[in-house]
Structure 1
Amino acid sequence: MVSKAVTYGIIGVVAVGAIGFGVSHVAGNKTEKVVTVGIVGTADNDLWKIAADTAKEKYNITLKTKQFTDYNQPNIALKNGSIDLNAYQNQVFLTNWNKANGHALKLIGRTVFTPLRFYDKNASKVSEVKDGQTIAVPNDATNEGRALQLLQSAGLIKIKAGVALPTLKDIVENKKHLVIKEVAADQTPAAYKSAGAAVINTNFAKDAKIDLQSAIYVEPVTSTSNKWYIQFAATNKNVNKKLYKEVVKSFQTAKAEKWLEKTWGDAEQPAWTLK
């Protein structure tokens, strides 16, 4: 999920309490602990507020989130220590990132699962997709491969067998002469407006206020979907840190599960309850 040629930006900070990164200090007779988590997008701010309330009440942790606008920077920020954890990526994405960055990070706990969705302004079902239609897809290795696999499962293209993360060169059949346009993941909503069709990550679709139910095809959930579950990540030295395990527990609650079901339905599911 690494966006190429995108500009890093911090939208803002959602916080409860003091400022600091994975630090503790004495507040009255209690030790107050502060943890900052890097996330992408703003649509789940209320979900993080639930987690922050739980962290404060149960573990006396002040949980903060730092919001990024693209998929590249949260891992860099985690590696260099400007945040304590991040929670925006799946197993496949981190594996690819680690190969190029010294295997610096590890996943420590699930958050949500958001199936990719395919949108087409000019079609109400896949069979109506026009010959020669331009379709925007994310340009990072993980999401592009995932998007192409989605288009294959929809019956629109065929990909060379045995390729784990396909690229455009791995398309072996394209009967509708689709023009597949690679753009940064955070730009797929804008590309959808101009091109008329796109495969869009749910967090970016939500931030762009795209009606999720308008998708004409949704990524199937299979026995291997767990590789796409979004998870918390930590640096190698902090994988077993009790403080960070408590943050994961603060997120994985029945209250959060109910919020997800009420707010997003099957568009965003509590991954800690899935196989």
Structure 2
Amino acid sequence: MKKITYLLLALVLAIGTLTACGSSDKESETKEAAGKTIKVAASATPHAIILEEAKTLLKKQGWDLEIKVFDDYVQPNNVVESGEFDANYFQHIPYLENFNKEKGTHLVNAGGIHYEPFGIYPGTEKKLDELKEGDTIAVPNDTTNEARALLLLQDNGIIKLKDGAGLEATVKDIAENPKNIKIQELEAAQVSRVKDEVAFVVLNGNYALEAGYSVEKDSIAYEKSDSEAAKTYVNVIAVKEGNENNEGIKALISVLKSDEIKKFINEKFNGAVVPFE
């Protein structure tokens, strides 16, 4: 009787051990699977579109890419700073640096992916030489994008900025305005919506796309690929400082800079989005 009892006890212990091992293995697998997910906050166009194309390539490497679209320029940085998301993809370096300075965040550039040529697009007028005295041109009102818009207007002879204004230029830095053009400053997403009310609009590349504009076909003038602006305003994958060398971030950057994604960008956006080399 004692032998049977001992045998039963040994069997129970053995089953318990196996169950515990199985449970441990499953927990390990679950943790490993969870660790293979990359969460990215992005603007809808073109960033989320490019990320969707990258999903398949990342999946082949064992990574699940989760994308959440935001329609503003603040929350994508906040959710990366808080750790809720691994990275974001919506901004250029000057905006990132200015955001860190103003908000006290600790975000860094993990890799440059593309740039979007800023363009001047028709409103009530179709050609720049049709500008009349006192006409209005709408531009983005955030610090870095307004400067970029004003520099493009200067390059096309509409205004002249004070020497040294550069990438921090505002309407207060306009030194010469021969036709007394009014500069209407609006939140970036709103600029295209007033195109029927102003002579011209100056748009970020992604908002031009959302408005149905083609840089090559519709813009009156735009930044060239070899311009200082193109190099300065490359759109980046941003992460919290210290995470730029994480395995998932490295995989994400590698895929986004791959020949497959470069080809997709060139074919999809017709010059409105250009891969950054």
Query: Would the TM-score normalized by the shorter structure come out above 0.5?
Result: yes
Asked if the contact 2:124–2:196 (Cα under 8 Å) also holds between the matched residues in 1, the reply is no
Structure 2 residue runs without a partner (length 5+): 1-26
Alignment of 1:67-216 (within 5 A): 67-164=69-166, 165-212=168-215, 213-216=217-220
Q: Aligned partners of 1:157 and 1:28: how far apart in 2? A: 58
Structure 1 pair 31/180, CA: closer, same or farther in 2 (3 Å)? Answer: closer
Indicate whether 1:233 and 2:267 are aligned: no
Indicate whether 1:36 and 2:66 are aligned: no
Indicate whether 1:55 and 2:39 are aligned: no
Structure 1 pair 105/44, CA: closer, same or farther in 2 (3 Å)? Answer: closer
Match of 1:194, SS state, is: coil
Indicate whether 1:246 and 2:251 are aligned: yes
1:220 to 224, 228, 232: 224
Structure 1 pair 37/25, CA: closer, same or farther in 2 (3 Å)? Answer: farther
Match of 1:267 in 2: 272
- CA distances 1:169-227 after superposition (whole Å, capped 9, x unpaired): 10011111111011000111112233242101111121122343211111233352311
- CA distances 1:229-250 after superposition (whole Å, capped 9, x unpaired): 0000000121221221111112
Structure 1 pair 180/27, CA: closer, same or farther in 2 (3 Å)? Answer: same
Asked if the contact 1:122–1:129 (Cα under 8 Å) also holds between the matched residues in 2, the reply is no
Structure 1 residue runs without a partner (length 5+): 1-23
Match of 1:193, SS state, is: coil
Asked if the contact 1:25–1:31 (Cα under 8 Å) also holds between the matched residues in 2, the reply is no
Q: Which has the higher strand share?
A: 1
Q: Aligned partners of 2:189 and 2:28: how far apart in 1? A: 37
Asked if the contact 1:120–1:215 (Cα under 8 Å) also holds between the matched residues in 2, the reply is yes
TM-superposed deviation, 1:42: 3.7
Letter in 1 for 2:178: K
Letter in 2 for 1:125: K
Structure 1 residues 220-229 or 102-111, which shifts more? Answer: 220-229
Normalised by the length of structure 2, the TM-score is 0.83
Q: Aligned partners of 1:40 and 1:187: how far apart in 2? A: 15
Letter in 1 for 2:82: N
Asked if the contact 1:70–1:185 (Cα under 8 Å) also holds between the matched residues in 2, the reply is no
Structure 1 pair 206/143, CA: closer, same or farther in 2 (3 Å)? Answer: same
Q: Aligned partners of 2:251 and 2:179: how far apart in 1? A: 50
Identity, % of aligned pairs? Answer: 31
TM-superposed deviation, 1:69: 0.7
Q: Aligned partners of 1:238 and 1:173: how far apart in 2? A: 46
Asked if the contact 1:123–1:216 (Cα under 8 Å) also holds between the matched residues in 2, the reply is no
Q: Which has the higher helix share?
A: 2
Match of 1:10 in 2: none
Q: Bigger radius of gyration, 1 or 2?
A: 2
Letter in 2 for 1:52: K
Match of 2:84, SS state, is: coil
TM-superposed deviation, 1:155: 0.6
Letter in 1 for 2:108: K
TM-superposed deviation, 1:93: 1.0
Normalised by the length of structure 1, the TM-score is 0.83
Q: Aligned partners of 2:34 and 2:72: how far apart in 1? A: 34
Asked if the contact 1:112–1:270 (Cα under 8 Å) also holds between the matched residues in 2, the reply is yes
Q: How many residues align?
A: 248
Match of 2:242, SS state, is: helix
C-alpha RMSD of matched pairs (Å): 2.1
